[in-house]
A and B are shown apart, each in its own frame.
Chain A
Amino acid sequence: GAVVSQHPSWVICKSGTSVKIECRSLDFQATTMFWYRQFPKQSLMLMATSNEGSKATYEQGVEKDKFLINHASLTLSTLTVTSAHPEDSSFYICSASDPVDPYSSPPQHFGDGTRLSIL
């Protein structure tokens, strides 16, 4: 079945560092991908919609200059947390659906997530 691969699975870095997270659709082309953030013991919140070949759409309250999204190909979206600080520590997870098969099960393919810890 369709798979979305997310890398890295976890990262620990110093405050002020920029961190890039990759989300790949392995066997389908994703014109749109989604990025969610989940703080410990909280729900998943949609951060932004990544659009292939155009600018991402950010949800209210999400700083677009802080969370840079690039979707340069139909199989890859990247989220870069710029100048990360401890408050950016969270679980980031991406997802995408196969536009050719929207009735597939599961309908939305999630990556396994990235645990980001900023020291």
Chain B
Amino acid sequence: AQKVTQAQTEISVVEKEDVTLDCVYETRDTTYYLFWYKQPPSGELVFLIRRNSFDEQNEISGRYSWNFQKSTSSFNFTITASQVVDSAVYFCALSADNAGNMLTFGGGTRLMVKP
């Protein structure tokens, strides 16, 4: 069975602070895919990143960066110089396939960025 744990239910920061959202996963698959999604108050899911289990390179995209550590089964997400528009719920998710079918979502972390 697959499981994704996001231990931080809510985080509150002041604008321009850096913030890291933690994600720990469990799976018996040797090949798997990890995802991060953003869910703003309007409810839609915004795709942020996909990472396969064989690629442990960290990734940076603008103010966003991701740290994948297979040894600790973690896939953490850092927002640098946070902005009010980053306020949302962020979900880490796991799938056995590249297309992200049948996703197992973590509980989500609600990020509040205050001006």
Interface residues of A, Cβ cutoff 8 Å to B: 32, 34, 36, 41-46, 49, 91, 93, 95, 97, 102-103, 105-108, 110, 112-113, 115
Which residues of chain A are within 8 angstroms of B101 by Cβ–Cβ distance?
32, 34, 49, 97, 108
Interface string of B42-83 (1 = CB under 8 A from A): 111101001000000000000000000000000000000000
Interface residues of B, Cβ cutoff 8 Å to A: 35, 42-45, 47, 50, 91, 97-108, 110
Q: Choose one: A91, A107, A113; the contact of B98 (CB below 8 Å).
A: A107
A69 smallest CB distance to B (angstroms) = 14
Q: Choose one: B42, B100, B106; the contact of A108 (CB below 8 Å).
A: B100
Which residues of chain B are within 8 angstroms of A102 by Cβ–Cβ distance?
97-99
Q: State the CA gap A33–B107 with chains docked (Å).
A: 22
Q: State the CA gap A14–B36 with chains docked (Å).
A: 36
Check B91–A110 contact: CB distance below 8 A.
no
A24 smallest CB distance to B (angstroms) = 16
Check B107–A42 contact: CB distance below 8 A.
yes
Check B91–A112 contact: CB distance below 8 A.
no
CB-nearest residue of chain B to A9: B43
Q: Choose one: B44, B104, B106, B110; the contact of A110 (CB below 8 Å).
A: B44
Check A105–B47 contact: CB distance below 8 A.
yes
Check B91–A43 contact: CB distance below 8 A.
yes
Check A107–B99 contact: CB distance below 8 A.
yes
CB-nearest residue of chain B to A101: B99
CB-nearest residue of chain B to A110: B45
A2 smallest CB distance to B (angstroms) = 12
Pairs A–B under 8 Å by Cβ, sample size 8: A34-B103, A42-B107, A46-B102, A106-B47, A107-B50, A110-B44, A112-B43, A113-B43
Check B98–A43 contact: CB distance below 8 A.
no
Which residues of chain B are within 8 angstroms of A107 by Cβ–Cβ distance?
35, 47, 50, 98-100
CB-nearest residue of chain B to A32: B101
B15 smallest CB distance to A (angstroms) = 24
